Amino acid sequence: MTTTVTTRPAVSVAGLRKTFGAKVVLDGIDLTVTEGTVFALLGPNGAGKTTMVRILATLLPPDSGSIRVAGHDLARDADEVRAAIGLTGQFAAVDRLLTVQENLRLMADLHRLGRTEGGRRVARLIERFDLGESARKPVSLLSGGQQRRLDLAMTLVGNPRLIFLDEPTTGLDPRSRHAMWQIVRELVAEGVTVFLTTQYLEEADQLADRIAVLDHGRIVVEGTPDELKRRIPGGHLLLRFTEPDTLHAAAAVLDTAHRDDDALTLQVPSDGDVASLRAVLNTLDRVRAEPDHLTIHTPDLDDVFFAFTGAPATTDATSEEISR
């Protein structure tokens, strides 16, 4: 066996197909994930993301295609693949009757770490994932965010080099979501490869080195977040005014993309960050054109799908509203 120190693919997939009965779920997927990077599979519900992860994690056999995961042939050496990967599925894969500590201990024992090393790793993960206060509580008493953290901690007990995260933040509150992002960043800094699926463009943008957009079992586009965003009609601010006069005044000083005189609204291109928002508001202040209502629209999965497939995704838009 040849071992190359330089970037070999952590995952390489060619011509992957999977059908359930008459339904084609994955229709000729080719992709490569470089070691030590974050790869995001972006798509709406039903696109085939979970099926993809289940196949790569050895839980489902593909119909056809050649797949190598962590340097091993998936069809021939499933156990070698299993030894190298960690999976955190969409639904917390935890034992609800056991405590946090017992769950982690169970993983340590199944990795055959021995008492001392196992205990050390369990203690470190409890500390790292901020589960100290609930370490002796049964999992059924934990919050959703805590269960998700435990779930990921259990995945990490075996020190996997490649981690699959299937929609790691779906259903989490914003604080837990950011905590999860931070953990993913730390893992990558340690050299772990992360393969994640998500419905949120923002999440893929925040975390991924490369994004592939999956739609009806096919990858419609793949590239770096910047490459993708350049091809998506950008985000904007939507300003609503109460008087036509203020609308005119504002339109005169702002770089307006779209103006609607009936609805008294202006669309101003913006990527939604605080600096550009402040610039717009300062400009409006100068001409005393106070908007009545302001909405920040960040590009979301819908925009991505409009841009690459011409049809909307079947998920909710993520508009944050600021009312005053």
Partner 1 sequence: MTTMAHALTDSRTMLRRQLLHLRRYPSLTGLLIGMPVIFLLLFAYVFGGTLGAGIGGDRSAYVNYLTPGILLFTMAGAAAGTAISVAMDMTEGIVDRFRSMAIARISLLTGHVLGSLVQNLLALLAVLGVALLIGFRPNATALEWLAVLGVLTATAFALTWFAVALGMVADSVETASNTPMFLSLLPFLGSGFVPTETMPAGLRTFAEYQPFTPIIETLRGLLLGSGIGTSAITALAWCAGISLVSYLWAKRKYNQRATR
> Footprint of partner 1 on this chain (CB under 8 A)?
54, 57-61, 79-80, 82-83, 85, 87, 89-98, 102, 106, 109-112, 138, 154-155, 158
**Nearest distance in Å: CB 97, partner 1:** 5
Give SS3 for 203: helix
Smallest CA-to-CA distance from 101 within 140, 133, 136 is with 136
Q: Which is nearer to partner 1, 54 or 128 (CB)?
A: 54
Q: Which is nearer to partner 1, 60 or 179 (CB)?
A: 60
Please tell me the distance from the alpha carbon of residue 299 to that of residue 271, in angstroms, as a whole number. 8
What DSSP designation does 139 have? Answer: G
Smallest CA-to-CA distance from 145 within 166, 171, 122 is with 171
Alpha helices in 66-221 (DSSP H): 78-84, 100-110, 115-128, 144-156, 174-189, 201-207
Please tell me the distance from the alpha carbon of residue 277 to that of residue 270, in angstroms, as a whole number. 8
**Nearest distance in Å: CB 54, partner 1:** 8
**Nearest distance in Å: CB 119, partner 1:** 15
Please tell me the distance from the alpha carbon of residue 191 to that of residue 207, in angstroms, as a whole number. 14
**Nearest distance in Å: CB 173, partner 1:** 21
Smallest CA-to-CA distance from 60 within 72, 71, 48 is with 48
Q: Which is nearer to partner 1, 86 or 291 (CB)?
A: 86
Residue type, 78: A
Q: Which is nearer to partner 1, 112 or 175 (CB)?
A: 112
**Nearest distance in Å: CB 59, partner 1:** 6
Q: Which is nearer to partner 1, 48 or 235 (CB)?
A: 48
Q: Which is nearer to partner 1, 77 or 271 (CB)?
A: 77
**Nearest distance in Å: CB 49, partner 1:** 15
Residue 14 near residue 65 (C-beta atoms within 8 A) = yes
Neighbours of 244 (CB within 10 A): 11
Please tell me the distance from the alpha carbon of residue 153 to that of residue 156, in angstroms, as a whole number. 5
Q: Which is nearer to partner 1, 101 or 298 (CB)?
A: 101
**Nearest distance in Å: CB 83, partner 1:** 4
Q: Which is nearer to partner 1, 57 or 180 (CB)?
A: 57
Residue 194 near residue 187 (C-beta atoms within 8 A) = yes
CA 248 remoteness from chain centre: 41
